[in-house]
Amino acid sequence: MPYCTLNDLIKRFSESEINDLLDRDSDGLHESETLDMTIADADGLIDGFLGVRYKVPISPVNSPKSYGVMRLFSCDITRYLLWDDNAPQEIKDRYDAAIARLKDYAKGLMVLPDANPAPQNPSGGVDFIANERVFTQDTLKGF
């Protein structure tokens, strides 16, 4: 389930702005694939940051407060991505703020109170699984 929808974008910003951003060929119609792809890109970015500390994607059922925060971030990031390289400074600032907050969550400087933590490796390092050793002191006796 995506963190934001077309309706979320329209409610947060304006219908005319979102319509203009989604009408890439100026035919008066939304390019729904563009919206779906851009939301997926934004949500992938969010999950990439949060995945180091939390089980992603954040669930609206299990984490309603955290999901609401992710909706806000997804809207700001999606809007910025839809503008491509032409985003006004205010939109870029909102994008930069969302990325900064996501980095804070990833570093543990901020906490998503109702989100499930990511499974952790108890040793804190990388687990390696290898085959049993072929050459040991016992197998090399006599050489």
Q: Is residue 134 part of a domain?
A: no
Domain count, the chain: 1
Q: Is residue 127 part of a domain?
A: no
Q: Is residue 143 part of a domain?
A: no
Q: Is residue 131 part of a domain?
A: no
> pTM for the whole thing?
0.80
pLDDT at 129: 66
> What does the block give as tokens for 70?
């992710």
Which phi and psi (to 5°) does residue 60 adopt? -70, -25
Q: Is residue 66 part of a domain?
A: yes
Percent above pLDDT 90 for the chain: 59
Average pLDDT, the chain: 88
pLDDT at 127: 59
Q: Is residue 139 part of a domain?
A: no
Q: Is residue 34 part of a domain?
A: yes
Residue range(s) defining the domain that contains residue 99 = 6-107
> What does the block give as tokens for 58?
């954040």
Q: Is residue 121 part of a domain?
A: no
- Tell me the per-residue pLDDT of 118-131, one tens digit each, with 9 for 90 and over: 876 655 566 566 67
